[in-house]
Every structure is written in C-alpha cells, then in structure tokens.
Structure 1
C-alpha cells in the first residue's frame, strides 16, 4: 500500500493539500516510520521557512527548532510556528546542538557563511557567546567556514572548519581556545570535508562521531576522542553523510544524496529512509516545492529525534523543507 503510494506520487506528481496526501511508510522492523503530510506548512500548504541549509534540534518541552538561511524557526510538535529568530545574528546556521544548562536551555550553532560559532538562549534568542577564528592557535587564517559544532558534558565546545581547513577547534565553555586537531586530505586520519559532528554518547567514555563527507571513498564516519585522538573508522559507503543525531543506541545520518541511514550501536545499518532513486534529484538543492514527493527526500541535511523516537528531517532545499516521521510502534 505504502510503496504503491510512493510510485503513484512519483508518476503523477505531488498533491499538496494535506488531506489528499496519504502518509508514506518507510524503513523496516523497529525503525519503521510514517510521514506526516503537510507538517510545518502554512494553512495554504506552502513552506514557511525559506531556503534551508541547516539543522534540527528539539528542546525539553518538545518544540522543534530548524535553522534556515533567514534564521531559526521554532515549531510545536503539531507543526505550528510558535516563535522565530530571524535576523542577521541567527541567519545561515549550518549546524545546531541544544543543551540544558543551569540557567536554561541553549543552542550552539556553526555559521559557515559568517565564519563563527555562537551560543544563544533557546527561549529568547539572546546571544551569549561567539567563537571567531582562534588567533591563539598560531594558524594563518585563509578562510573560516564552520560546518559543525558539538558540546561535551563538561561544556567544552568543538567547532569543525569543514568548508575550509578541516581543522576541528576545541574551546572551553567560556570560549577560550584549547587546541585543534585534524588536517585536510584523503588518508585514513585526514578529513575531506569534516561536515558533521556529534557527541557520541552510545559509548563510554563519549567520543566525537565525525561525518567525513567527501573523503575518497565517500561516505565514512570516524571516531575521535575528546582529546583529538584518532580512534577508528566507523563505517564507509554512506554516500555523502552531512550530520548525525544520537537517540539511545541509535544514530540517524542524513545523506546529501537523498536518504537517511539509521545505524545501531554496532554501526550496522538498521534502516534506510526516504531514498531518492533519481540521480538528477538526489543531492539537488533546486527542487521546488511543486516537485516535492511525499516520502522521498532530495538533499537530507539535518535530523533529530524526539523523546518518543520520532524523527524530524530537513532537506537542503531552495524552498525550505522539514518533515516529521512518526515511528510506528
């Protein structure tokens, strides 16, 4: 039934009135999901966020934050916008992480086009910390284009310069530069676009899980210690992994070519979601909303799990696409 729906939509084109589009089932086994047609769209069925090249996080209350070129938009679980931070301080955040701290919840962001990391209050949007290029590193700054950010349990911050040097810079919780590691290249311990990064809490001690997007062969994840020491190559063959989000023993990994891969603690593939079989559309930013197909992704860039194991997925897209996938119990 669900596969037939995908095939029919692929042949006839999408219908955007939410009451006419049926949910599409994807995945398998314990990682089976149904899409929520029309989630996050306006009452007229249009995207409300504009071009997307960003991320997704969820706060303790269950509100969903997604970063678009214009800024950060906050949705309720039923897809209504409840607040937004749309200004030149919150624009073009490429990656986000959220963290509950003593004085509230804070979002950490990597702004590649603006060459900085930031930390801001999740409720008010107030910027409380900025991380520019660390001159204390002794490196010559040719460009600084951070693509990913991660935060350790002690507050240390890791900022990946994934669109430039491929160095990963480590700061303490106050923004003081501590060290850097990593170098650009295609060798085992080198990065070729360290595009995504997350604190991998599936293991003790926790470590960094890094998406080495353009490494040859493409599609690998790496583990590094929090001291910047190479631990090992986790998996290869994931296409162009853009980011990663941890949920218990599982991790979701969006692939820019148009799918989300879910791995278990042994880093075995559990499910592949939203696979786009069209090479002209997978990894294509320029797919207008009129050509979106329910249950098929184009350029998956960010994902995040809620407490019930549902997934929110953002596409890299000219009109701005974010989707809710409800996990089938």
Structure 2
C-alpha cells in the first residue's frame, strides 16, 4: 500500500525547527506524534556530564535486556545505558565494532545479543553477561555462491533458534542458519521486482502473525522504501507497505512497529500496517539523511539519519541516528490528554 503525503503530514512532530540557542540555555522537551503514539523527548539523555556524546559515531542498532538496560551499537563497540541515560557498561574493541544491527534473545543459559557486522563481513552471537562471543557467522562457502563482497546489515532469530542474516549491502541474499551456525539455505537477490531486494537493510521476526514471518526493510526498492513479508522458509508472502522513504530497521511491540527512515523521521505502524504516527520529521533536505550533522547542530525533537529503534516495556522508544557525533534519544510515551 502507498502512503499519501497528507497522512504523513497529519502526525508530524510538533516542533519542526527551533532557533539557535546559547550552549548554557536549558533545552526543553519536545512533544511529538499523535493519539496513542504521543511522546516527549528527554533532552540530554545519553550524554556525558559535560554534555558530549558518550558513544562516538553511530551506524547501528538499539536493543533492551530483561533488566531494562539499553544497548546501542556504535563504531567503537556496544554501549550499555541505564534507563536514566548513564553508561553502565560497554563491549569495546575490534570484536564488537561495526555492529550494524542487533537482536537480543533470552535463551536457556542467559541473554544473548546477535549482531550483523557489515564492515567485518560476519554475524556474531555473544553472551550479555560476559561478552563472550559464542558464534561467528562468516560467508557460508557451502552455499555454492561466489560473491565478490559479503556485507551483512541485518540479523534476526526464529523461535526455534534458526538465524537469518541479510547481506543487504552486497548480494541482497538472506542466509538461513540453524542455531549452531550450520548453513541451511538462502533466498532473495538484488533488483527492483516484487520478489527482489534493493538493499535488504533491516529485518526482524514479525511476531504479530502466527506462524511468525520475516519483516524485511527493502530500503531502496522503487517506489522508494517498502516493507515485505517472507515466511521462515524464504517464500514471498506480500508487500506490506511502500513509499516509506528509506526504511532502515523494524522493531515490534505487541501490534505496533517502529520504522526509522534514514531521511530523518520514524513512522509507527499498527496491526493493519497503517501509519498512525510520524516522529522527528526533518524538513531540511540537507540534513535529513545526512551522517554529517555535528552535535552542535542537533535540534531537539528533529532526527537526521534515523537508523535504529527499540521499545521498552512501558512503550517508550529509544532511537539512534546514523551520526558523526553519535546520537541516541529517549522518547517517553505520554497520554496526550495529560495523564502519564
């Protein structure tokens, strides 16, 4: 389905731009969204005491563990925040760098993060409590494919432990492995036809449906930006929604899906896959979709290269921008009538 510009405009953030302010002037929260999907920003969330970004340049993802701690991946590694925005732990170094996408999963012996490392040409799995990497997923030579490049952008895990790794920056094949890392199959190819991908950039398990499906962000597909459903055996089901700009990732809570758009906004879909809110819309074409927006030019309530998001149990959203200075934001869900 194509979304009209009228519908998108209906739920744009309340503040699209604001005048420059002195560095020592307090930043006010900004209310955005509409209806049940109304949020307030939390100014300064995730910044160091001196006001600088705590994480360095970002091109990654966000997940939340069962204790409510927030994990975001950056060029340097993975940083762990408390709900009030303080860094409480980190996984840094070459083995954790450049994790483009993450999924978190509770398993019999603890919680694990699965990561797609685009620049390092692999998927990984590591234990949250120790940081121990227990699985590497390099390009599976047993697939019989001969690729010039392997550049994974997304990873997700089925209930039975099967792992899906999308080669979104290269071949656009999606590779399926069993829980031990054994190659099982692959599907998809690059192109603009209905059953092809033009940058299979983000992916998650769509738990809104039984049996579960893969919900895949086909970021550069024409008409630009769509979500598609495939079954867990790699068979095309349907085109879910088109005209989303450049959808980068998907995160699900209950019947709702948050979809960051690299051009500087985040849309929320309901169970019918209708857009019900648009957050952080950036009206400046020079900054919407730009990595090079330094912290001094950030505008509260306005996103730039929106890349990752995740919901906590209360329905709050954590959003990461693809950003040279490293930006992660907390959006607190509120009742627009004034009741929390």
Short-chain TM bin: over 0.9
**Which residue in the other structure is 1:121 paired with?**
127
**Which residue in the other structure is 2:286 paired with?**
280
Q: More displaced, 120-129 or 53-62?
A: 120-129
Residues 16 and 38 in structure 1, CA contact (< 8 A), matched pair in contact too? no
Alignment of 1:48-197 (within 5 A): 48-197=54-203
Residues 15 and 21 in structure 1, CA contact (< 8 A), matched pair in contact too? no
**Aligned equivalents of 1:14 and 1:107: distance in 2?**
39
Q: 1:156 to 1:277 in 2, by over 3 A?
A: same
**Aligned equivalents of 2:321 and 2:69: distance in 1?**
19
| Residue 297, structure 1, aligned to residue 306, structure 2 | no
Scaled by the length of structure 2, what TM-score is found?
Answer: 0.93
**In the TM superposition, what is the alpha-carbon distance from 1:13 to its structure 2 partner?**
2.0
**Which residue in the other structure is 2:15 paired with?**
6
**In the TM superposition, what is the alpha-carbon distance from 1:15 to its structure 2 partner?**
5.3
Residues 97 and 149 in structure 1, CA contact (< 8 A), matched pair in contact too? yes
**Which residue in the other structure is 1:25 paired with?**
31
1:63-110 deviation digits (Å, cap 9, x = unpaired): 000000000000000000000011000000000000000000000000
**In the TM superposition, what is the alpha-carbon distance from 1:194 to its structure 2 partner?**
0.2
Q: 1:4 to 1:66 in 2, by over 3 A?
A: closer
Alignment of 1:254-273 (within 5 A): 254-273=260-279
In the alignment of these two chains, the number of paired residues is 324
Residues 47 and 319 in structure 1, CA contact (< 8 A), matched pair in contact too? yes
**Which residue in the other structure is 1:244 paired with?**
250
**Aligned equivalents of 1:206 and 1:11: distance in 2?**
43
**In the TM superposition, what is the alpha-carbon distance from 1:124 to its structure 2 partner?**
1.7
1:161-218 deviation digits (Å, cap 9, x = unpaired): 0000000000000000000000100000000000000000011110000000001111
**In the TM superposition, what is the alpha-carbon distance from 1:128 to its structure 2 partner?**
0.5
- What residue ranges of structure 2 are gaps of 5+ in the alignment? 1-11, 336-340
| Residue 314, structure 1, aligned to residue 320, structure 2 | yes
- Aligned residues: CA RMSD: 1.3
Residues 56 and 312 in structure 1, CA contact (< 8 A), matched pair in contact too? yes
**Which residue in the other structure is 2:3 paired with?**
none
SS of alignment partner, residue 12 of structure 1 = coil
**In the TM superposition, what is the alpha-carbon distance from 1:313 to its structure 2 partner?**
0.1
- What residue ranges of structure 1 are gaps of 5+ in the alignment? none
**Aligned equivalents of 1:268 and 1:5: distance in 2?**
21
Residues 113 and 128 in structure 2, CA contact (< 8 A), matched pair in contact too? yes
**Aligned equivalents of 1:175 and 1:226: distance in 2?**
16
